[in-house]
Amino acid sequence: MSWSSPTLPLITKPGEKIYITTDEGAWLSSIPALGASLGPFITGIIVDHLGRKRTLLGILLLFVGCWSVMYFCENLIILLSSRFVAGLGVGCVYATLPMFVCEISPVKLRGSLCSLLQLFDCFAYLIEYIVGSYATFQNLILISGILPILCFLILVWVPESPYYLHNKGAKSEAMQALRYFRGYPDSSTLQKEIDELEASAENIKNNKRSIITLFTTKGNLKCLYYVAALVICQQGSGINVITFYSKSIFEESGSSFSANLCSVIVAVVMTCTSIITSTAARIFKIRNLLLFSSVGITVAMFSIGTYFYFKDTLNDINSIFGWIPLFSLVLFIFAYTLGYGPLVWVITAEIFPSHLKAFGCALASSFSWLLAFLLTRYFLLFAINYGKAPAFWLFGCIGIMSYLFVNFHLPETQNKTFQEIQDMIHGPMQKKEKNNENP
């Protein structure tokens, strides 16, 4: 997804193999997010039929095909189409992968292991930014296409999710997979998790109702509220604007540092912070990390917004304040990666009931990418008409609202089993329903 950041400054200048205008560049950056907003619904259909693993393997092959088409294409329409299809795959991955990792992780390590998804995401950004600083348009595509091949070769040897296998009636295979993910302990050690698998399967059996119940049951509506608010906080921070346009932002800021160097520094900070996040998610409460993230994002966005305001109104501030754009985006990336980056998807993957989890995760991921598309598509237009300062200040205001939501509304789910989370959200309602059914 970050491929556009180092690429746009190249292909918006005459002389390249493909030359595009600024508006076409905005489409090239944003159209994967539009595809990603549709991808999760495909996941919602296939992930419970094909399984988590086979769904991910199919998407990786799709990525390889898209990069191959982009490497040979010389037409903007084909390039946009490939980016859109790749976006479909990204949407499927973001709906499937957190679910898969949550289902194979021990309860106490679930948050930290899910946060590793952000680490590998950041590692891919780092590769794109470093290679994109020196490589040509086609060489960057070639190197990008190698990554899904490597992922495929690794994932093909990993077992399927024990939850998926058990819910499909493959109890023996589920036990083997669970023993694999826990380091082959004896059966008595796994008894608690086996009981939870049984409870999950029983819950699905007893709740085979329409997905409409996601919108009609009080507990499920609470889940939707929490997840929708978290997604708005995440995307409203401006993360995809920063990652898609980071090099362009640094170039237009007139910073005293080169745009290539600043983009690489941001990616390095993102990657290093992801390593810290894995440990932090195990030590600190998820809500506390999100609160810290909200504060950091707010300070960073108001800082860079103020810098652009004075840059537009004063003659020369770079000699004194040229460090502010880099400082602000480094602070933003640090705060975002430590909180909203991985933890929104941790909560999303564990908060929905088992029989609605696939559709709930798909809906959340789709909403997230739809917001990402709207923000990346219209950020440049908003900045041209009103200035970059108000755009960044708007992100800062959303950071303040994010802090208030997490502090006053979001429940803590850390170190709770799936069943305990469901009891916390649905318990009183479930008891009431049972009493109504058996007066």
Residue range 4-160+213-428 in CATH 1.20.1250.20: yes
Q: Hey, where are the domains in the chain? A: 4-160+213-428
Distances (CA, A) of 184 to 35, 103, 167, 175, 419: 40, 17, 21, 10, 24
- Tens of pLDDT, residue by residue, the chain (439 residues): 666 667 776 676 665 666 777 777 778 888 888 888 888 888 777 888 888 899 999 999 999 999 999 888 878 888 889 999 999 998 888 778 878 887 888 877 776 677 677 778 777 878 887 887 777 777 888 888 898 999 999 999 999 988 888 777 787 888 888 888 887 666 666 777 777 766 666 665 555 556 777 787 888 888 899 999 999 999 999 888 887 777 677 776 666 667 777 778 888 888 888 788 777 877 888 899 999 999 999 999 999 999 888 887 776 666 667 788 888 888 999 999 888 988 888 888 788 887 787 788 778 888 988 998 888 888 878 888 888 889 999 999 999 999 999 999 888 887 777 778 888 887 644 444 444 444 4
What would the pLDDT profile of 22-33 be if each residue is shown by its tens digit? 777 778 888 888
Q: 379: closest CA among 274, 240, 189?
A: 240
Closest CA to 278 of 110, 97, 102: 110
pLDDT the model gives residue 152: 94
Spatial neighbors of 22 by CB under 8 A, at least 6 apart, are: 12, 380
Handedness of CA 133, 138, 144, 149 (dihedral sign): negative
Distances 155 to 34, 119, 123, 151 between C-alpha atoms, Å: 27, 17, 18, 6
- Whole-prediction pTM: 0.74
d(CA 96, CA 37): 14
